[in-house]
């Protein structure tokens, strides 16, 4: 059974040097790259605006579910201009199955309006400008920066948070702290791919309730492995 670092007297995170942790991360990423040679964003999108909206929708929801509702949403409201003018109730009806649909529909409509007012309808390319938009936190901003604009970012979702803790690459449950810990041991140009690799690993092998440790490609580097 997996153990959380806090259950140990001294976690590997506390005792491992930064150099050793960087080397271990290198081996982890190499092994995951072998398992997943072409990591990419699972959210279907054709442009930065669609990715931004899809990522807002993905909060507390699977990417598969988001991909089921976005085609209808984007065919009706393809850009910031259309989304800003959309009735919130109409957006809510389309995205209902993603959960928290009332909050999300308000955020998406407000986000469209903010893009129009502040950025001429275009999605901005900086963390500061993105996180100032309604419904956009660091995770969403990092997804957009990394996947739409090629700006390195390390989005920390539930898979990344869980796996980083199991690997004892962090000792925190705070996504911003985890992001700092992971960025410190990962080459900057690999941040976006590294996040994808952790997510893919979390879906395929290191499944929260039934981890497949026997077939795990990074088991030799995991202090939580049985």
The CATH number linked to 203 is: 1.10.1670.10
Q: Are 118 and 94 members of one domain?
A: yes
On whether residue 104 sits in a domain, the answer given is yes
Domain boundary among 114, 148, 182: 148
On whether residue 40 sits in a domain, the answer given is no
Q: Which domain holds residue 160?
A: 5-35+154-221
Q: Are 118 and 165 members of one domain?
A: no
The answer to whether the beta carbons of residues 218 and 198 sit under 8 Å apart is: no
Q: Are 193 and 122 members of one domain?
A: no
Q: Are 160 and 119 members of one domain?
A: no
The CATH number linked to 55 is: 1.10.340.30
Q: Are 138 and 166 members of one domain?
A: no
CA distances from 160 to 65, 97, 117, 132, 142 (A): 19, 24, 34, 24, 13
pLDDT, tens only, 116-175? 999 999 999 999 999 999 999 999 999 999 999 999 999 999 999 999 999 999 999 999
Residue 209: Cβ within 10 Å count: 4
Active-site residue set: 139, 157
The one-digit pLDDT tens for each residue of the chain (226 residues) are: 444 444 445 789 999 999 999 999 999 999 999 999 999 999 999 999 999 999 999 999 999 999 999 999 999 999 999 999 999 999 999 999 999 999 999 999 999 999 999 999 999 999 999 999 999 999 999 999 999 999 999 999 999 999 999 999 999 999 999 999 999 999 999 999 999 999 999 999 999 999 999 999 999 999 999 9
Q: Are 187 and 106 members of one domain?
A: no
On whether residue 205 sits in a domain, the answer given is yes
Number of domains in the chain: 2
Q: What is the pTM of this model?
A: 0.92
Q: Are 53 and 133 members of one domain?
A: yes
Q: Are 133 and 54 members of one domain?
A: yes
On whether residue 41 sits in a domain, the answer given is no
Q: Are 25 and 60 members of one domain?
A: no
Scored b (16 or more CB within 10 A) or e, 21-43 reads beebbeebbebbbeebeebebbb
Helix (H) or strand (E) holding 192: helix 191-204
Domain boundary among 106, 130, 148: 148
CA distances from 55 to 73, 177, 219 (A): 14, 21, 30
Domain boundary among 148, 170, 201: 148
On whether residue 135 sits in a domain, the answer given is yes
The answer to whether the beta carbons of residues 80 and 48 sit under 8 Å apart is: no
Q: Are 123 and 204 members of one domain?
A: no
On whether residue 17 sits in a domain, the answer given is yes
On whether residue 226 sits in a domain, the answer given is no
Q: Are 163 and 119 members of one domain?
A: no
Q: Are 62 and 25 members of one domain?
A: no
On whether residue 42 sits in a domain, the answer given is no
């Amino acid at each position: 059974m997996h153990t959380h670092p806090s259950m140990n007297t001294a976690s590997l995170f506390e005792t491992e040097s930064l150099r050793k942790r960087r080397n271990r991360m290198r081996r982890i990423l190499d092994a995951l790259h072998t398992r997943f040679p072409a990591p990419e964003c699972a959210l279907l999108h054709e442009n930065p605006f669609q990715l931004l909206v899809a990522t807002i929708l993905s909060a507390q929801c699977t990417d598969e579910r988001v991909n089921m509702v976005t085609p209808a949403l984007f065919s009706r409201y393809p850009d910031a201009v259309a989304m800003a003018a959309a009735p919130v109730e109409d957006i809510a009806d389309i995205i209902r199955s993603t959960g928290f649909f009332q909050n999300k529909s308000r955020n998406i409509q407000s986000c469209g309006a903010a893009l129009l007012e502040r950025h001429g309808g275009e999605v901005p390319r900086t963390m500061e400008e993105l996180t100032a938009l309604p419904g956009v936190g660091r995770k969403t901003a990092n997804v957009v920066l990394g996947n739409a604009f090629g700006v390195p970012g390390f989005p920390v979702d539930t898979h990344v948070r869980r796996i980083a803790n199991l690997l004892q690459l962090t000792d925190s449950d705070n996504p911003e702290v985890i992001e700092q810990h992971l960025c410190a041991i990962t080459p900057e140009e690999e941040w976006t791919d590294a996040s994808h690799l952790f997510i893919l690993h979390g879906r395929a092998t290191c499944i929260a309730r039934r981890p497949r440790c026997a077939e795990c490609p990074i088991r030799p580097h995991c202090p939580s492995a049985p």
